[in-house]
Homo-oligomer: A and B are copies of this chain.
Amino acid sequence: MRKLMECVPNFSEGRDAVLVEQIIDEARKVEGIIILDYSSDKDHNRTVLTMIGSPEQIKEAAINTARKAAELIDMSKHEGAHPRMGATDVIPFAPVANVTIDECIEVAKEVAAEIGSWGIPVYLYEDSATSPERTNLAKVRKGQYEGFFDKIKEEEWKPDFGPQEMNEKSGCTAVGARVPLVAFNINLDTANVEIADKIAKTVRHIGGGLRYVKAIGLKLEERNQTQVSMNLVNYEKSAVYQAFEMVKMEARRYGVNVVGSEVIGTVPMKALIDVAEYYLQVENFSMDQILEKRLLDEQ
């Protein structure tokens, strides 16, 4: 049974394609690594790489790409629309097959220690966070690159690895472990974005809703509809069908209907199999009954 982990490092360069290729090449060099996707955004001036491999391969690729980013990117000259604090801004690890979240935490810590040894401050976040305040990436990154020269001196923001001093060229980096995120949107037959927003606030964790759901209300101008746009950060604990049924339930209060939904980007099979299991009321189902799961396990 092959162990597979996902890693989605974000690099603070999205305009210089030659430079980006040099970073991605460091992942390509790792034998056996699967690069599912990488894309650069010019406005954000940022590149997101999605790769999968064994824990050892993923660790090697994460370290080597981060090393190349530290070499090639100068944060003191970086500008872009997306919040960022380092050349390698964030490195999340997630389980894909036959690995636990604890194994991801372990790899995250090893990678963080390595990057720290280069003189770059590193913060552990999400499931690998060393204190509750560091769980949320937005909180860790608050102040961004520019603000960190002061922020890092505060005792509560002492890095988990590396010096308690900002690295001018490379900034600092957040490394974490989490369950793969599911981006899931629900479309409503109302053009009133206030309604979508009220529903989002009720469904999301911060508003008293589902613990692992983040949500906002959005207007879909072209369709004359609105949307509850969600990130399910732990689909095993706050399931897709729960988020869906809860939005439907709250929409009823406004006489609003769900007209459709969207799954954005890549989704782990289990997130949707769980949905089928719920609606079909399946008893005693095992993921090992899935043909494709068996095929992956055989390899």
Chain A residues within 8 Å of B, Cβ to Cβ = 4, 6, 34, 36, 52, 96-97, 180, 187, 240-241, 244, 258-263, 265-269, 272-273, 275-277, 279-285, 289-296, 298-299
- Are A295 and B294 in contact, with the CB atoms below 8 A? no
Q: How far is the CA of A261 from the CA of B282 in the complex (A)?
A: 5
Chain B CB within 10 A, most for which of A265, A280, A295: A280
Chain B residues within 8 Å of A258, by CB: 281
Q: For A180, give its contact among B4, B281, B291, B296 (CB under 8 Å).
A: B291
Chain B residues within 8 Å of A262, by CB: 282-284
- Are B275 and A279 in contact, with the CB atoms below 8 A? yes
> A96-B295, A261-B282, A275-B275 given. 7 additional CB < 8 A pairs?
A36-B294, A97-B292, A241-B279, A262-B284, A266-B290, A272-B276, A272-B290
- Are B275 and A289 in contact, with the CB atoms below 8 A? no
Q: How far is the CA of A68 from the CA of B186 in the complex (A)?
A: 56
Interface residues of A: mostly helix, strand, loop or mixed?
Answer: mixed
Copies in the complex: 2
Q: For A34, give its contact among B34, B265, B295 (CB under 8 Å).
A: B295
Q: How far is the CA of A285 from the CA of B52 in the complex (A)?
A: 22
Chain B residues within 8 Å of A34, by CB: 295, 298
Which residue on B lies nearest to A2, using beta carbons? B295
Chain B residues within 8 Å of A285, by CB: 263
- Are B292 and A269 in contact, with the CB atoms below 8 A? yes
6 contacts between A and B (CB under 8 A): A34-B295, A180-B291, A268-B292, A269-B273, A272-B273, A292-B296
Q: How far is the CA of A279 from the CA of B281 in the complex (A)?
A: 13
- Are A267 and B280 in contact, with the CB atoms below 8 A? no
Chain B residues within 8 Å of A275, by CB: 275-276, 279-280
- Are A283 and B260 in contact, with the CB atoms below 8 A? yes
Chain B residues within 8 Å of A291, by CB: 6, 36, 52, 96, 180, 266-269
- Are A266 and B283 in contact, with the CB atoms below 8 A? no
- Are A282 and B263 in contact, with the CB atoms below 8 A? yes
Chain B CB within 10 A, most for which of A180, A265, A269: A269
A272-B276, A296-B296 known; A290+B267 contact, CB < 8 A? yes
- Are B281 and A259 in contact, with the CB atoms below 8 A? yes
Q: How far is the CA of A285 from the CA of B180 in the complex (A)?
A: 18
